[in-house]
Amino acid sequence: MTNTRISNAVYDVVIVGAGAAGVGAAVALKHAGIENFVVCERHTVGASFASWPAETRFITPSYATNSIGMLDLNSIAIGTSPAYSLGVEHPTGEEYAMHLRAVARFFELPVRQGIDVLQIAKLGDIFHVDTAAETLTARHVIWAAGEFQYPRLSGFSGSQLCRHTATIASYEKLDGDDFIVVGGYESGVDAAFHLACCDKRVRLFDKDCPWQEESSDPSVALSPFTLERMRDDQFVKKVELHGNTPIESVTRAGDTYEVTTRDGHRFETRVPPLLAGGFEGSHRLVADLFEHRDDGSPILSEDDESTVVPGVFLCGPAVRHNDHLFCFIFKYRQRFAVVAKAVATSLGLPAEALEEYRKWGMYLDDLSCCGAQCAC
């Protein structure tokens, strides 16, 4: 450990991360009657969303529909709506970060910004959460550090020569006229669309062909918002689709990048290929606290708790149960009350206020489906 002192206070809960999952879980803890907790955020509230490319927007639409009994798809707390507070249907990342900051202020969440969690260990019944400045102690830990800050940079030879879409501030400001995008799911099509709108030529490659996927589950198929943009005249004119075409390698000779497909075809570009290969996820930083499935995701109890280290919970897009992916906000928010109730029960609290979450479809007893608002 690198810190110099251990905090005297023992929190009931330490939440790591103040994005959608961390803020939403913190609100659920408050509704469960838990007050003695802290949220540790390495940067600022909503920092990952604020780091999105300027043009990128939510693919799930926001509607201020609380009055008819449905929660805004992008809400993370009962009684809140990005559509209402922001006045937009598809928020940008920066707009959504503003919304999260407003939610944190409204609920007076105990967020400590600029706190980088380095290590978590359980000694006896108490967790020691090691940060650069001190060690926080707690009875429970909720890991909600997200994925966006951990882009996947591997997958084929020479992938390090590519530029991951998560590192791009704005597509409009990218130099070059001829782009290759590797990865044809949401972020890859998003990159291709915005580049096409800037009158850039784009060749888009994917090992599968997600734009032809017939599933209605947005965890598998492209969203209607994305498919609609793919029908835009500029997209059709400027983007060349290469489905079922996995990439073998990327090499560089002078000012030219050569992309070779697995079937032996070669494509050249003068700008670094853009890699839209997804994210590793922050849960790998606490891999020692969980058992893991064959796909690398943590194995969880029905309460989203570690099966090997009791008291540590997972919230956010990395949550998996059987074949169900909770990778969108409207999916994983349904697990906030599950975690909050488990923690409250451990602390001997009744958590009666969490019954309200049932009304909004944010609490599940049955894992046979991801919830009423899911297309599984």
* Tens-digit pLDDT profile for residues 296-305: 889 999 999 9
In a domain, 181, yes or no: yes
Which of 259, 275, 291 lies at the terminal end of a domain, its last residue? Answer: 275
Q: Which pTM does this prediction carry?
A: 0.92
- What pLDDT does 6 receive? 67
In a domain, 218, yes or no: yes
In a domain, 259, yes or no: yes
- pLDDT tens for each residue of 34-81: 999 999 999 999 999 999 999 999 999 999 866 666 889 999 999 899
- pLDDT tens for each residue of 84-118: 999 999 999 999 999 999 999 999 999 999 999 99
In a domain, 219, yes or no: yes
Do 13 and 141 lie in one domain? The reply is yes
In a domain, 114, yes or no: yes
Q: How many domains does the chain have?
A: 2
Do 71 and 124 lie in one domain? The reply is yes
Q: For residue 31, give both structure tokens.
A: 């509704």
Do 205 and 293 lie in one domain? The reply is no
Do 196 and 107 lie in one domain? The reply is no
> Across residues 288-303, what is the average pLDDT?
93
In a domain, 166, yes or no: yes
Do 15 and 65 lie in one domain? The reply is yes
Which of 275, 290, 322 lies at the terminal end of a domain, its last residue? Answer: 275
Do 184 and 254 lie in one domain? The reply is yes
CA atoms of 23 and 8, how far apart (whole Å): 25
Do 176 and 323 lie in one domain? The reply is no
Query: Could you tell me what percent of the chain has a pLDDT over 90?
Result: 80
- pLDDT tens for each residue of 121-159: 999 999 999 999 999 999 999 999 999 999 999 989 999
Q: Does residue 370 register a pLDDT over 70? A: no
Q: Does residue 211 register a pLDDT over 80? A: yes
- What pLDDT does 231 receive? 97
105: domain CATH number is 3.50.50.60
CA atoms of 226 and 206, how far apart (whole Å): 16
In a domain, 370, yes or no: no
In a domain, 113, yes or no: yes
Do 92 and 40 lie in one domain? The reply is yes
- What pLDDT does 95 receive? 98
Q: Does residue 367 register a pLDDT over 50? A: no
Do 17 and 137 lie in one domain? The reply is yes
- Taking residue 32's Cβ as centre, other Cβ atoms within 10 Å add up to 25
CA atoms of 260 and 323, how far apart (whole Å): 33
Do 198 and 72 lie in one domain? The reply is no
Query: Could you tell me what percent of the chain has a pLDDT over 70?
Result: 92
Which of 246, 275, 304 lies at the terminal end of a domain, its last residue? Answer: 275
- What pLDDT does 376 receive? 31
- What pLDDT does 213 receive? 85
> Across residues 216-224, what is the average pLDDT?
82
Do 19 and 129 lie in one domain? The reply is yes
Do 40 and 132 lie in one domain? The reply is yes
Q: Which domain holds residue 16?
A: 6-149+279-359
